[in-house]
Amino acid sequence: MDVAIEDVDSILATASQKLLSSLTVNSVPERALVVLSQRFALDVCFGHPDAVSYIEKGVASHLRVCYTTVEDRTWSFTGYPSEPLVSCAAAHLLHQDGSLSIALETLKQKMDEGLFEVGRSGELTSRLVLLLAKDSYVRRSDPKYSYTRITNIDKWGYELIDCQKVSIIDFLEHLFGKSFWVLAGGTAKALFCHAHVNFSHWVCMDELISPKSGDGYAPMRC
């Protein structure tokens, strides 16, 4: 069974509406923060005057999930669960004409105001650079489309590009430049010649992910 382009567009449009209660991030720059929060795991700073209202609006209207609240309900622990389809819709919105610039400018403003944490070692910067680099890589041939045609399969006729795995060799070359593997050496490139990586968003990992206890692993983001 083949899936029509109209069906793919409809699915992405529905996911976008659920996330934003809108089809665009251009009309209200603040809505760009919803897209960034879903994909980049923005940490809201406790104590900022807008923190509680931002979180409440996210839970009420933008698919943010409330995990627990403190006893007096002055603070809620919330976040975005891993939802690749929603992340693909968010990526599509983020890379519409002018939307990425609006989103990043809005994020910078809110970070300057102290609404979001950059991380103890600038982790947010790393998340932005790595994921935006993958966004750019998968859109290098045509930035307007969020899916590609697939042949020789049984059910689905299209694949969302933000769910595609990419060659580590090609991705790191795209990120760091063509000289990256020259500096790394021929052996390194040969070892990774068949390796791929795939990620469409970041989520918070608040518990140890190692099956062994006492091994020194810290909570991670992935």
C-alpha 18/C-alpha 61 separation (Å) is 8
Beta carbons within 8 Å of 73's beta carbon, 6+ residues apart: none
pLDDT score for 126:
94
- By CB atoms closer than 10 A (0-12, 13-18, 19+), residue 116 is buried
C-alpha 221/C-alpha 43 separation (Å) is 12
pLDDT score for 47:
85
Beta carbons within 8 Å of 127's beta carbon, 6+ residues apart: 40, 41, 202, 221
Residue 1 has pLDDT above 50, yes or no: no
Q: 107-120 pLDDT, tens per residue?
A: 999 999 999 999 88
CA distances for 77 relative to 70, 164, 202, angstroms: 8, 31, 17
pLDDT score for 96:
84
Query: In which band, very low, low, confident or very high, does the pLDDT at 200 lie, cut at 50, 70 and 90?
Result: very high
The whole-model pTM stands at 0.83
**Given CA atoms 105, 117, 47, 22 in this order, what sign does their dihedral have?**
positive
3-state secondary structure of 149: strand
Residue 220 has pLDDT above 50, yes or no: no
Q: 133-190 pLDDT, tens per residue?
A: 999 999 987 766 666 655 445 555 678 889 889 999 999 999 999 899 999 888 999 9
Q: 79-109 pLDDT, tens per residue?
A: 998 999 999 999 998 988 888 999 999 999 9
26 close to 102: Cβ distance less than 8 angstroms: yes
Q: 12-43 pLDDT, tens per residue?
A: 889 999 998 866 655 677 788 999 999 999 99
